[in-house]
Amino acid sequence: MTALSYQDFLQIASRKLCDPNNLGQHNALLLVNFERLAELDGVLGFNAVDAVVRQISSQVKDALSAESLVGITGRYQICCLLVELLSDAHAILAAHKILRILMLPVVLDKRNITLAPRIGVALSNKSGCALDQLLSDASLAIHQARLEQESIKLFAAETKDPFLSQIDLWSDLGSAIEAGELHLCYQPQINLASGKIESTEALLRWHHPDHGPIRTDKLIQVAEGTALMPKLTLWVFHTALRECSEYRRAGLNAGISINFSADDLRDPELTELVAQGLSLWGVSPGNVTIELTETAIMENHSGTLDTLHKLKDMGLKLAMDDFGTGYSSMARMLGLPLDEVKIDMIFVKHMTTKSAHDRIVDSMISLAHRLNLSVVAEGVEDIATYDRLRTLGCDVIQGYLIGKPMPLPELIQTVSNQPLSFLETTSSQKSK
């Protein structure tokens, strides 16, 4: 049987939901999205992909009850309205039935095409529910399924508020960048051989007027993949370089570590913007380390490796952040122009109490040194961990034992009040 067109589906589905005989029944809307079809447009052509969607929608229609409606509501999307269900649970059962059908390859011109379907499920309440609301809820369920890497997701009302909050934060973040409401804090990194501050990591902070402090990972999640990400990166980079030049003039002879995202590495203008920033603030490239998450570096994007080599050729240092928490490939690592790795604090914090963590850190340090990479350990909070890392040959440490992230004036004051090296300070602590 042929699926309905978009307009026909909307009209007939709305009439069914508003039918007085249907009020009080269990109804559900299933939105089915095919994420792989977009990439097939350029390979098979639009007409072929449209044919695939029509074929799929017919199979789904045949699998459902005669009262159910199936419509093509987008180039890579079909919609199913299920009415007069015995219970809400039957909507999920129907979603699994559809998923089993869609997991089978679709044959087109002797090709077996495997799809990547996600299904968002929205339930109408006993008093009825507008079709527009059901479509909105099912679409949000698909978004949540994508985030959680699930194939089927039932809409839950509590997921709407965080999503709407994220939209509000996105709008507020754009205003905050323009209004200068963001600021950076700096956490010192100590060289274990000299006991001196070798660098500081610039950490983004935002105190929202209504929501209070916004976690950095949440802030990046809001910006990533949108037009705000390059603006945010540019602001962070210029602010970090300007304040680095300030603390160097104040007597702190240390470099600066700045975090970049996967989005940043895909920006074709990144290297030129970096060069402009270095020139503007008079910071030597050798004093700047670009920190990238393990996932971002390992992403097999065509321009990523080229960008990394360009940054390296400019004289900047490159660090893999959160080492050990992603999906590193040794073959891929050998081809990366890295200078250092940062061992994530989830391993460091428990290395003196959990032997498995200690062995992991030991192995990471040994591996990095064999690859001629420097090692920074994050999350160092006590003397025992500090001593163990020195024994293992770690190069640099960072954590609350050294100092918490602090604004520029506090950093300068802290350093000026503590002229001794960290090694001397630590020795005096042990002797007490």
Identify the weakest region by mean pLDDT among 93-102, 112-121, 320-329. 320-329
Give per-residue pLDDT as tens, 42-99: 777 888 888 888 888 888 988 888 888 999 988 889 999 998 888 888 899 999 999 9
| Tokens coding 237 | 């980079």
CA distance 240 to 245: 9
Cβ atoms of 224 and 261 closer than 8 Å: yes
3-state secondary structure the chain: CCCECHHHHHHHHHHHHHCHHHCCCEEEEEEEEECCHHHHHHHHCHHHHHHHHHHHHHHHHHHCCCCCEEEEEECCEEEEEEEEECCCHHHHHHHHHHHHHHCCCEEECCEEECCCEEEEEEECCCCCCCHHHHHHHHHHHHHHHHHCCCCEEECCHHHHHHHHHHHHHHHHHHHHHHHCCEEEEEEEEEECCCCCEEEEEEEEEEEECCCEECCHHHHHHHHCCCCHHHHHHHHHHHHHHHHHHHHHHCCCCCEEEEEECHHHHCCCCHHHHHHHHHHHHCCCHHHEEEEEEHHHHHCCCCCHHHHHHHHHHCCCEEEEEEECCCCCCHHHHHCCCCCEEEECHHHHCCCCCCHHHHHHHHHHHHHHHHCCCEEEECCCCCHHHHHHHHHHCCCEECCCCCCCCECHHHHHHHHHHCCCCHHHHHHHHHHC
| Tokens coding 281 | 């603030």
**Residue whose token pair is 């959680």:** 148
Q: What's the CATH superfamily of 165-431? A: EAL domain (3.20.20.450)
Q: What is the pLDDT of residue 287?
A: 97
**Residue whose token pair is 């050798």:** 286
The CATH code belonging to domain 6-155 is: 3.30.70.270
Q: Which of 142-156, 324-338, 418-432 has the highest mean pLDDT?
A: 142-156
Report the DSSP beta bridge partners of residue 70.
80
The rounded percent of the chain whose pLDDT value lies above 90 is: 43
pLDDT of residue 362 exceeding 90: yes
Q: Rounded to an integer, what is the distance from CA 347 to the centroid of its chain?
A: 21
pTM for this model (two decimals): 0.68
Give per-residue pLDDT as tens, 188-211: 999 999 999 999 999 999 888 777
CA distance 138 to 155: 6
Q: What is the dihedral of CA 203, 209, 213, 219, to 10 degrees?
A: -60
Give per-residue pLDDT as tens, 124-174: 865 556 888 898 889 888 888 887 788 999 987 665 445 545 666 777 888
| Mean pLDDT rounded to a whole number for the chain | 85
Report the DSSP beta bridge partners of residue 121.
30, 154
Helix axes 422-431, 383-392, angle to 10 degrees: 120
| Domain edges within the chain | 6-155, 165-431
Cβ atoms of 365 and 411 closer than 8 Å: no
Cβ atoms of 203 and 186 closer than 8 Å: yes
pLDDT of residue 28 exceeding 80: yes
